[in-house]
Amino acid sequence: MSDHDHDHDDHAPTREDDDLELTEGEARFLALKSLLIEGGVMTADEIRARMEFNERGSPHQAARMIARAWVDPDYKARMLADTKSAAAELGIEATEAALVTIENTPERHNMVVCTLCSCYPRSLLGEPPAFYVSKAYRSRAVREPRKVLREFGVDIPDAVDIAVHDSNADLRYVIMPMRPQGTEGMSEEELAALITRDSVVGCALPVEPS
């Protein structure tokens, strides 16, 4: 039974839901969940544990890896050769079968899309941004990448090639942006703060230091 007199310090993740009216979608999911639990397919504890596991994936994981790669050429080589193992070195558990890092260079800018659905390295990065799973991005990124990037405020000069990666099968991709100018002497933590979620998909450039 829903009780609206919550202690505001409790259960932060449920806050937004409590204020929203129950939709058909949510009701249908709750119905499904109750049937799966009653049917012994899964338990409430297992769902809770999996939610916590999923929370560990976030763009910050990739940012930490890329920041390390920027300062340590050997780590960068390992990350490019075997991204999963490089993640594990930093205590990050990536569960994807095949994880690949693609490096941006002065000659080539890279971007990732899954035209068929929403393939994305979730265990490393968390859930993809809303734009990534939108039909507009999925249809247009392969056909007019430069135009799409301009919508993101990114203008890649014609002298730099663009490579679009359609993540349609078993590989999952992380884009390694180029280290911005003027970041010499910055700590890994400071560097990681420049690496945004959108830059790891190839739809933004890292933040320039102020």
Partner 1 sequence: MSEAEPSYAVGDRVRILDIGKPGHVRTPTYIRHKVGTIERFCGMFENPEDKAYGRWGLPPIPLYRVQLKQDDIWPDYDGAPGDVLEIEIYDHWLAPAGETT
Partner 2 sequence: MVDKLTTDIGGDSAGPVPQEDRDQLFWEKQMIAAFNLLQVKGVVVTDEFRRTVEEMPADYYANSTFYGRRLDGMVRLLIEKGVIDADTIEARTREILESGTRDHV
Does 169 engage in binding with partner 2 (CB under 8 A)?
no
Give 22-70 as a 3 state SS string.
Answer: CCHHHHHHHHHHHHHHHCCCCCHHHHHHHHHHHHCCCHHHHHHHHHHHH
The distance of closest approach from Cβ of residue 177 to partner 2 in the complex, given in angstroms and rounded to an integer, is 19
> Taking the CB of residue 171, how many other CB atoms lie within 10 A of it?
14
Query: Could you say which residues in the range 119-158 bind partner 2, by CB under 8 A?
Result: 127, 129-131, 133-140, 142-143, 148, 151-152
Does 165 engage in binding with partner 1 (CB under 8 A)?
yes
117 is a catalytic site residue: yes
Closest CA to 161 of 201, 202, 196: 202
Does 178 engage in binding with partner 1 (CB under 8 A)?
no
Q: What angle do helix axes 59-71 and 73-81 make, rounded to 10 degrees?
A: 130
- What residues line the site for partner 2 (CB under 8 A)? 1-2, 11, 13-14, 16-17, 20-22, 24-36, 39, 41-42, 44, 46-48, 50-51, 53-54, 113, 115-118, 127, 129-131, 133-140, 142-143, 148, 151-152, 166
- Tell me the catalytic residues: 114, 117-119
